Amino acid sequence: MSESSSTRVDGARGPMHTGSGNIYVTVGSDLQGSDPPSFRRIADDQLAWLRRVLVAPVGMGQARARLADTGTVILDGAPGVGRTSAARVLLREYHQDAGVFHELLPGEAGELSLKDPDLVAVGDRLLLDLSAADAVRWTTAQADLSALRKAVHEQHAHLVVVMSNGGVLDSDLQPYRVEIETPPGSRVLRRHLRMHGVPCEQYLQPDPTVDEFLAGERPMREVADFADLVRRAREAGRPGDGFAQWCATARRARADRRKDVAALVARLRESPQRALLITVAMLHGAHADVIHHTAQLLLRTTGAPPDEVPLLQRKDLAERLSEISADTGPGGHVRFTELDYDSAVRTHFWDHMPDLRQRMGTWAARSVDLDSPHVTRELRDGVVAQLAGQYLRTGHGEGLASLAEDWSSSTASRAGLEAAVQALTCGLEDPVQGRSFRERIYQWCAHRRLQGKFAEVLVQVCADVIASSHPDQAMLRLYYLACREHDTTLALQALCDLVGTSHRLRRRLLNRLARHELSPAEIRIFLRVCDPEPLTEPYGNGRALVDESAVQNALTACWQAVLSGQPRTAWLSHAERWLHRAAVTDQCGGILLDVLVGAAARCDDSRGAAFAALYASARDAERTAPFRSSYAAETTDLLLQKICTAQGLGPPTTPPRAESPSRRTET
């Protein structure tokens, strides 16, 4: 494997991409009804696949030992040897319930500095890929690595750094450096073929095409791409073909087809011929009925005049397909006779007919909305992915982003919204333009007035794509969306699901909320994320979030905003949960009460009313307690004592029903 490879992931349950080629994303039939939280599963699935397909490069054992001993390893090596894939596999081997996989992107919106201790949580697996970094970025990152390594050590986390190509490592970091070298290309090819389901008795036979391909030094991604071509040649081959035929087909698919396609297009002068050629290239493998209808749709979209030839005098589809070197298989699905010819056709029309590009976006949007049993989710995703690939290949990411926004109009269908999600996912997963797409999505979430159903699309993209490897960025974007949404709680729910995966993210969100005076929308967010159970559950080092003084301060500031600015009916149920939790948790119950009382004490002129409201809420909580009411009564008495102390009064005039609550484990 390598920094970039083309693979197929069977059984994947979320968007992933391991290199060049298309990415196909399938989201739920209802964007509001996905199965949260899927972002952690997405990253774990991708890492598991890389581990299965990787042939360990030379030095992998040393890197594994260094990571185990120190928690940090810095991978060096020539481009193409597989450093990034090796890094991901090393981190996959430390998969555990605590912590998440997190790719660090210092300097981007929503990312903490490498020196910030809040960047690392217990058990996190951190990847800092600087393979493409310039000299300035590499030098800056090196200066911050000592602080990052310290946080990694303290949190029992693991960090893998991929060195900049040609970068020079400081002397104090040399002990963590491990150089890896390319594994034998034949082993890499065989591993990929085996994972693609090619029988071993086939690929173990000597083959001159394979020998020729492996004769030179190949980057690992090229080996992976060739294996994928062999797999596709096998799937599209004729009965009786063997490994030699598949490899020969794969070799021809790697050839430069530009002249062949240009000559074919020059021969096809009529609009229906070219429309059919483009349609087959964009919907390669689709059913013949779909090819026919979408080709007609492309003609109408491009303004071609209607065909005046009587219906029975027109060429049938079989004859028209033969003119473009395509045919229909036994199942009625249309493909070119040459493997990967569709890619060359798409490239030709995009590069040599620039006026067609905008019409292609309109046509794609109409195509995914076709009502046909043959228009499947995979087919819709494929159309969008092929179109996105051309935008990204030619460096026009802004055009793809605008297209996704247009597809999310107020009248957009479910298929249109899914197409928008797919388009943005392709942009985010692009190795060159992914950063600009993350920045563009940040601007949309934080500053732009979103039209139609575009906010719904952004929620899905943040929760299921960005969060899979960049959870901090996803949290910030979902936070802005939740602050601005009306008549829906999609972003708020996604934000709660995300922070529910990480104590670190919950801490960071609470700190952000406490920075300034809370708006009504931020109060709504706080009341949803202040669930006392995750705040009081021990994690990692045995401490709970609420044990941390910074978290206590943030909770107090937020509760102050709630008590001073909201009617009791708005926060009563949340306060009751805090009081119920205080009654059954041994170590943190007193802290929960201290936070509530401290918040009320900071309400200035309304502090008396706030204390009274808290006490009334405690009495209400006694009636709603899911356990013996005596436990809740003891908590109410302790709350009253703390209120009296905060007001500078003596003990309550009515003796409490118990000196202190008996902390019991809830059953």
- Domain-embedded: residue 302: yes
| Residues 552 and 663 occupy one common structural domain | yes
CATH value at residue 137: 3.40.50.300
The C-alpha angle 462, 463, 469, rounded to 5 degrees, equals 80
Given a contact cutoff of 8 angstroms between Cβ atoms, the answer to whether 534 and 545 are in contact is yes
The phi, psi pair for 216, rounded to 5°, reads -95, 175
- Domain-embedded: residue 116: yes
Q: What is the mean predicted confidence (pLDDT) over 587-607? A: 92
- Domain-embedded: residue 126: yes
Q: What percent of the chain has pLDDT over 70?
A: 90
The 3-state DSSP class for residue 125 equals strand
| Residues 523 and 662 occupy one common structural domain | yes
- For residue 207, give its domain range: 185-253
Q: Number of helices (H) and strands (E), helices first, in the chain?
A: 30, 7
Give the end of a domain, one of 179, 205, 226: 179
| Residues 357 and 211 occupy one common structural domain | no
DSSP letter string, 35-63: -S--HHHHHHHHHHHHHHHPPPPBTHHHH
Task: Give the tens place of pLDDT for each residue, 423-450.
Answer: 999 999 998 999 999 999 999 999 998 9
pLDDT at site 667: 35
The phi, psi pair for 422, rounded to 5°, reads -60, -45
Q: What is the mean predicted confidence (pLDDT) over 462-484? A: 93
Task: Give the tens place of pLDDT for each residue, 121-148.
Answer: 888 899 999 998 888 999 999 999 999 9
| Residues 290 and 215 occupy one common structural domain | no
DSSP letter string, 489-501: -HHHHHHHHHHTT
Given a contact cutoff of 8 angstroms between Cβ atoms, the answer to whether 440 and 482 are in contact is no
Number of domains in the chain: 4
pLDDT at site 325: 93
Q: Which residue has the tokens 């982003």?
A: 401
pLDDT at site 40: 56
| Residues 347 and 313 occupy one common structural domain | yes
Task: Give the tens place of pLDDT for each residue, 47-87.
Answer: 777 888 889 899 999 999 999 999 999 999 998 898 999 99
| Residues 287 and 361 occupy one common structural domain | yes
CA 581 distance to own-chain centroid: 34
pLDDT at site 624: 85
| Residues 249 and 262 occupy one common structural domain | no
Q: Which helix (H) or strand (E) holds 390?
A: helix 377-393
Is the confidence at residue 24, as pLDDT, over 50?
Answer: no
| Residues 174 and 216 occupy one common structural domain | no
Q: Structure tokens of 467? A: 């969060």
- Domain-embedded: residue 384: no
| Residues 233 and 262 occupy one common structural domain | no
- Domain-embedded: residue 569: yes
Nearest-Å Rg of the Cα atoms of the chain is: 30
Q: Model-level pTM?
A: 0.86
| 189 Cβ contact partners less than 8 Å away, ≥ 6 residues apart | 203, 210, 214, 223, 226, 227
| Residues 641 and 527 occupy one common structural domain | yes
| Residues 240 and 319 occupy one common structural domain | no
Give the end of a domain, one of 203, 224, 253: 253
Residue 38: band (very low, low, confident or very high) from pLDDT cuts 50, 70, 90: low
| Residues 100 and 154 occupy one common structural domain | yes
- Domain-embedded: residue 316: yes
Q: What is the mean predicted confidence (pLDDT) over 24-46? A: 51
Pairing between β-strand 72-76 and β-strand 326-328 as defined by DSSP bridges: unpaired
- Domain-embedded: residue 361: yes
Measured distance CA(130)–CA(617) in Å, rounded: 53
- Domain-embedded: residue 82: yes
Task: Give the tens place of pLDDT for each residue, 166-218.
Answer: 889 999 999 999 999 989 999 999 999 999 988 888 888 889 999 999 988 88
